[in-house]
Every structure is written in C-alpha cells, then in structure tokens.
Structure 1
Amino acid sequence: MNLELTVEDDRWQGLETLSRKAISAVLAFAEIDPEFCEVSVLGCDDARIAELNSEFRGKPSATNVLSWPAEDLAPDLPGQVPNAPQPDFTGEIPLGDIAISFETSAREAAEAGKAMDDHVIHLLVHGTLHLLGYDHIRDPDATLMEGIEVKILGKLGIDDPYRV
C-alpha cells in the first residue's frame, strides 16, 4: 500500500502502524489488493480538523475523523454495497484522504474506557470505509457500515464499539 502519512501533531506516536493495520484490514475485507492502493492520512489536532470540518462540511467544530474519497463509489439504493474502486491509468487505486484529530480521539477513548490504539484503529477503519463509498446518513447504510466495522474490528481483536 502506498500510504502518505503527514503528522502535524507530535502526540501522534505510531500512527503509521495503526493506519497500515486499519486500512489493510478494510482492504482485506473488501477483497482489494493493498499493493495497488494509495491512501493519505493526516494526524492533526482539534484546531486543524475544525478548520477542515468548517471548510469541507460547513461545521466549524472539531470532530474525530474526516474522509475525502478519491471518487464517489456510493450505491444508488440504501443498504447496498458500494461500487468497487477501479485503478487509474497508472494501475494504482487512489482511495482518498483521511484526517484524524488527536485530542478528540483521546477524549473519546478515555470517556469510553477504551485503549487509545483500539479507538484510533476503529476511526481509521471507519474513515477507510468512507473512502470505499460506505456512509451512515441513511439508516440502511448505517446498519451495513456499522456491521462491517464490527466484523473488521473483531478480526483485529477489538470489541464492538457500538455495544453499550
């Protein structure tokens, strides 16, 4: 996998390893060869992710993770599996960009009593699924996406993040 990692916040230790683990698990689930995939990950702080959230989503507040798919793979009907990404003219499969905020991730992990690494992997799995066209706006899509997240995380030995 071609992983372009940018770390703007020095508190992000081990982000490359966590990114590779999460993204590879999603690609394995989707039966996509990671050797041909390109993903960019930005490890930032709340101030930076708030800027991005404001600029791209019109929400001037911090969030945990944001994703920008290289192409729209969303299915036409709710609850359907998205279209598979296709290689570009170079043979690479550009999937897109993910940004993740340290403060929000750390706060959420602490509040939920979860290990930071497990929560970060969950957020990166979530973000990567967005790159593959999954979403959670419509209920059938949310059910599908959350179910896939739980399966992938389970294979990584991480508990269901949606179980209360």
Structure 2
Amino acid sequence: MLEVALTHEAPWPDHDWDALADRAARAAIDRTPHGELLTIPAAVEISLRLTSDEEVHTLNHQYRHKDKPTNVLSFPMVQADLLETVTQNSDDGEVLLGDIVLAHGVCAAEAAERGIAIETHATHLIVHGVLHLLGYDHMTDREAEAMEAIETDALASLGIDDPYLIEED
C-alpha cells in the first residue's frame, strides 16, 4: 500500500498536490518491476516536499556539492536491489522508499519555458523522482533512455504528453 506524505509551502500555489503526487507516484511505480509495491500489505511511504529554491539550493550543496538549486532532488532510503527483501521483512509493516524535494522557482521557470502548467511539470518531476527512489538513473545514455521511456509511459497514462519529444518547426 502506497502512502505519499506531502508537505508544501509558499511559493507553491494552492492545488490538490496530494492527489497529483499520489497519481504520479502510482503511475511511475506501476510501470516498473516494482509494481507490486502498490498492492503489498506493508505501508510503502514516499515523502514529498514542495519548497523554495533556497531550500533545494542548500540541500543540493550539502548532499551533491552543487552550489545552485535544481528542479528535483531524490534521496532513496532503500537500495533498489534490496527493495524486495526489505518489503518482505519489514518489522513494522512500513518501508520508507525515500524523500523527493521540488524547487518552486526552477520548476515554474522550466514549465513556463516549455509552455506547460506548473502542475504538469511537477507531475513529471515527481515521476522522475520516484524512479530515482527505485534505483533508476540517467548517468549513461542507455540508463537515460530506459528511464525516459518509463517516464513517458507513466505520463501518457496520466494524459500528459511526452516531455522529451522535441518539436521540429
């Protein structure tokens, strides 16, 4: 059973972020070999924080040694290769997959640049962040292509166009 624990603060606008985050996380997980996480009896939790660029800048500097904000940060709590073992052997019936943090200013600027709503871009970034929590990465072209294919499929299931499709004039 999936639980998305969401907190959001200004400058994020009012929106039903809980429902959006739940749909995005479910769509991402369902398109991976870890889809069973959606139906197991253990509570599988993702912590999601919608916050300011300043907070994300601090986290990015502290944990990645990059002195700037970024759109999304993911902090996995379970190694992907141990995920099945951890969920089967959870002492208290809870598994914390990890934390995802989105920076409002970066997200809003990227959405405006793409001509899409901030909610649409945030959905994409949540899907992306959840995949990182599940062990996906984009350090090589092969990894990036695999991750992008899952993202595209998950977003399509939510009625969102392929964010990687480049329109040619």
Using structure 2 for the length normalisation, give the TM-score.
Answer: 0.85
**Contact 1:105 / 1:116 at 8 angstroms: preserved in 2?**
yes
Q: What's 1:130 paired with?
A: 132
Quick one: which amino acid aligns to residue 14 of structure 2?
Q
Any idea what the Cα deviations from partners look like across 1:70-119, whole Å, max 9, x if unmatched? 1222xxxxxxxx66443122222321000001111111000011122111
RMSD, aligned CA? 1.7
Give 3-state SS (helix, strand or coil) of 1:163's partner: coil
Q: Which secondary structure state, in structure 2, belongs to the residue aligned with residue 32 of structure 1?
A: helix
Instruction: Trace 1:34-53 onto structure 2 (pairs within 5 A).
Output: 34=38, 36-53=43-60
CA contact (8 A) 1:154 1:160 kept: yes
2:73 to 60, 63, 66: 66
Query: Matched residues in 1 for 2:67 and 2:7: separation?
Result: 22
Structure 1 partner of 2:149 = 147
Instruction: Please state whether the residue corresponding to 2:5 is helix, strand or coil.
Output: strand
1:57 aligns with 64
CA distance in structure 2 between the aligned counterparts of 1:106 and 1:62, rounded to whole angstroms: 13
| Structure 1 alignment gaps of length 5 or more | 74-81
Q: Which residue identity is paired with 1:9?
A: A
After superposition, residues 1-164 of structure 1 pair within 5 angstroms as 1-14=2-15, 15-30=17-32, 31-34=35-38, 36-73=43-80, 84-85=83-84, 86-87=86-87, 88-164=90-166
Q: Which runs of 4+ in 1 moved over 4 A?
A: 82-85
1 CA distance for matches of 2:158 and 2:110?
20
Instruction: State whether residues 40 and 98 of structure 1, in contact with CA within 8 Å, keep that contact through their aligned partners in structure 2.
Output: yes
Residues 111-136 of structure 1 show CA distances to partners (whole Å, capped at 9, x for unaligned) of: 01112211110000000000000000
Q: Identity across aligned pairs (percent)?
A: 38
User: Mind listing any 5+ residue stretches in structure 2 that lack a counterpart?
Assistant: none
**Paired residue total:** 156
CA–CA distance in structure 2, aligned partners of residues 155 and 7 of structure 1: 25
Return the alpha-carbon distance in structure 1 between the equivalents of residues 162 and 9 of structure 2.
30
Scaled by the length of structure 1, what TM-score is found?
0.87
In structure 2, the partner of 1:77 is none
